Amino acid sequence: SPTVPSKKLNLPHESAVPVGGKTKGETIEAVAGDWQSFTFRPIRESQVSRAMTRRYFSDLDKYAESDVVIIGAGSCGLSAAYCLAKARPDLKIAIIEASVSPGGGAWLGGQLFSAMVMRKPADAFLREIGVDYEEDGDDSNYVVVKHAALFTSTLLSKVLQFPNVKLFNATAVEDLITRPREDGTIQIAGVVTNWTLVSRKASAHTLEALILTLFLQVSMHHDDQSCMDPNTINAPVIISTTGHDGPFGAFSVKRLVSMQAIKCLGGMRGLDMNTAEDAIVKGTREIVPGLIVGGMELSEVDGANRMGPTFGAMALSGVKAAEEVVKVFEQ
């Protein structure tokens, strides 16, 4: 059976993520049973607080200088994170996800239906992460996973177990860090972040705020709070997979237009599954130095068609985005 079509990442088939964890202790059978005498071990509230905050702030400290930032933990961003974390355990990878729940649109197969369709050869990615599927149709050109949530939860759980990955969810990227290059163009050198809960569609009081609101749909509570300055993460390479235009989507490419790093967006075209999936995978690339764009965000740059409820291109665009990152580090 074909492997994930990436010769460059050289992904072996066995899982890089240890199953079962490192921790030892009583089995659940030993814990359960005698509910009359059952009791949890004691704790002081401050221990809980410190257990969480110590780790969170240590992660903020550690990932303030990352090797790679992935913006958006949808199907494409998570696929990229999986491939990259597995191929390059030496890289520190931060994932920034605006929503509390990572996964983007991939919790359902389409509309409100459970099953998820993947066109071949993306079935190789399902085998890679260990998600079961059925062959469907007379021509066996596509496979079906019984629930999109099975794909997303499996992929997410594997990504989160890599020691070189940190997911910051409920955190939005609200700008890009840039550096001037000798040829007059810019290099993307990191991301500007804020709690998503202090970001929302704002009513704009200044021209600058109006432009930000219209272009980015991410703005701070300027109207009911004083300015809440953001935080930053430096990284030599960013993968942006924020999805197609919408309340939060196409974030980085819209910002590239507003900062005049690219001229304009092609604008996502109508639905054509056959054309769309090939175009998104093949087109996944570094759009400006330091910024690789994949998944449906790319359709807004290239004027590519949408594919609707087939997800193979999201997985394989993630594979290609990971390859593009590896290329940058090998230069």
- Which residues define the annotated binding site? 76, 97-98, 105, 173, 229, 244, 296, 306-308
**How many chain residues interact with ligand AHZ (CB under 6 A)?**
31
Out of 230, 242, 302, 325, which residue is the one contacting ligand AHZ (CB under 6 A)?
A: 242
122-141: contacts with ligand AHZ (CB under 6 A): none
Asked if 60 and 84 touch (Cβ cutoff 8 Å), the reply is no
Of 71, 15, 83, give the one whose Cα is nearest residue 325. Answer: 83
- Residue 96: how many other CB atoms lie within 10 Å: 27
Asked if 287 and 256 touch (Cβ cutoff 8 Å), the reply is yes
Q: How far is the CB of 60 from ligand AHZ (least distance, A)?
A: 16
Render 16-37 in DSSP notation, one character per residue. Answer: SSPSS-S-----HHHHSS--SS
**Annotated binding-site ranges for substrate:** 76, 97-98, 105, 173, 229, 244, 296, 306-308
Cα(306)–Cα(284) distance, integer angstroms: 15
202-221: contacts with ligand AHZ (CB under 6 A): 218
Cα(123)–Cα(309) distance, integer angstroms: 15
Cα(100)–Cα(169) distance, integer angstroms: 5
285 contacts ligand AHZ (rule: CB under 6 A): no
Q: Which stretch binds ligand AHZ (CB under 6 A): 31-39, 111-119, 148-156, 307-315?
A: 307-315
Q: Is 210 exposed, middle or buried (0-12, 13-18, 19+ CB in 10 A)?
A: middle
Out of 80, 93, 98, 122, which residue is the one contacting ligand AHZ (CB under 6 A)?
A: 98
24-83: contacts with ligand AHZ (CB under 6 A): 71-77
- Token couple for 90: 């030496």
Out of 295, 300, 315, 325, which residue is the one contacting ligand AHZ (CB under 6 A)?
A: 295
240 contacts ligand AHZ (rule: CB under 6 A): no
Residue with tokens 């090998």: 330
Residue among 9 and 155 whose Cβ is closer to ligand AHZ: 155
Residue among 45 and 172 whose Cβ is closer to ligand AHZ: 172
**What element of type H or E holds 93?**
strand 93-97
Q: By rule CB under 6 A, what string of x and - marks binding of each residue 156-175 to ligand AHZ?
A: ----------------xx--
- Residue 209: how many other CB atoms lie within 10 Å: 16
241 contacts ligand AHZ (rule: CB under 6 A): yes
316 contacts ligand AHZ (rule: CB under 6 A): no
Residue 65 pairs with which residues in a beta bridge?
A: 234
Tell me which residues touch ligand AHZ (CB under 6 A).
71-77, 96-99, 104-106, 172-173, 218, 241-244, 248-249, 251, 295-296, 306-308, 311, 314
